[in-house]
Structure 1
Amino acid sequence: MRATVLTLLTVIGLLVLNAGPAAAGGPTSVLLTMPENQRAAALYHSDSAYTRLDGALSGGATASPQESNSYITATWLIHDVDVWRTDRIYLTPSGPVIETRTTRGTEQGIWDVPATWHTSSSPKELMALFASLGLTSGSSTARIAEAAAQPPAAPTPVEPVADVKWEWGIGGLIAGALLTVGAVLVRPRLRGLPQLSRPRPAPPLP
């Protein structure tokens, strides 16, 4: 009997050690909300979009936005009830800016821990994911953020202006000089010519 109990406890221990993060008490789901549109969506940890969202929300450090913007809140849950992380994604004209709070490594409440500000590592993919979940449809602010997330357009190539042959320029200067000299030489001769007298009017008829 004792051997059976020990065997059962060993099997249970192995199952717990080999369990995934959700079964062992890790994160299970994330809730996404956008107050501006009054829309919400949820993802479970087994969904590929869950992993893409987590990856897109990491990025380099940045400052908090200067103005108030529309935002989407991602609330990360353990066993679907306990909040262990929040991401508030502000949709700014320059792209998503994220405020993150996490209770990992601390016993403080989620709103007692300091926030960190950072950008998105994949802003284009992040905005596409929000759109696919129906969170940003109809939001003008989201459209601005989506445009900011797009890669800059390639500059329009400027066609080079055709080179003007230098021989033509010199030829034009010579022609202009000859015309000027000719006008100077001809003008005195014209002044020396006698002016033609105007014909006298005919006498009136009797």
Structure 2
Amino acid sequence: MRRILAVAVLALAAAVGLPAASQAGGPTSVLITQPGQSAGALYYDDAAYDALLGLLPADETRGEPLAPGGGVDYNLTWLVHDVMPWRFDRVHVTPDGTAWVSTTFSAEATGEWVEVAEADELEAVLTQVLDDSVAPEVVSIPADATPAPAPAPAPAEPGTAWFSLTGWRWAVPGVLLGLVVGAVAARRSRDEEPRQVLISSEA
């Protein structure tokens, strides 16, 4: 029974195209957001994906508890199979062009900040990704738009009018006619019976 079940699972996996075990666990994409401004993404086969990863710290950062104030912030979320987050980077670029990065591998971790060397290259990649992203189109419906006319009612089927003698409507006159015929027949049978004449036995 177990062999049959295993064969069935393998056949189903091949039919629906489930990923093989050798393909599981690999990073595939990164979501880049500039809070309150824009968002973009890179896929693993994009050259900028590896370039961006190379500009960031390889491990979780240890340094300053806070980044310098002022400037531009970016949030990077790295995903496995576009579903499971596995790495989080916060990038802060100061007005003088210095870039600070906080790297963690848990969404709950606060993370510490370190200064990175290639600030210009890092900001250029992030800016390019956000500039190339296409904002979703918003479709609005005018308030004074004329509503679509309601569909016309379907015509009544033949024989369903109130005066039609079909269905249950035929039962009413049928019962009345039956009562009339029964009454006439009963009266006629009484008229045809011989009348009895009382004859006195006295002479």
| Range class of TM-score, shorter chain | 0.3 to 0.5
| TM superposition score normalised by structure 2 | 0.48
Larger radius of gyration between Structure 1 and Structure 2: 2
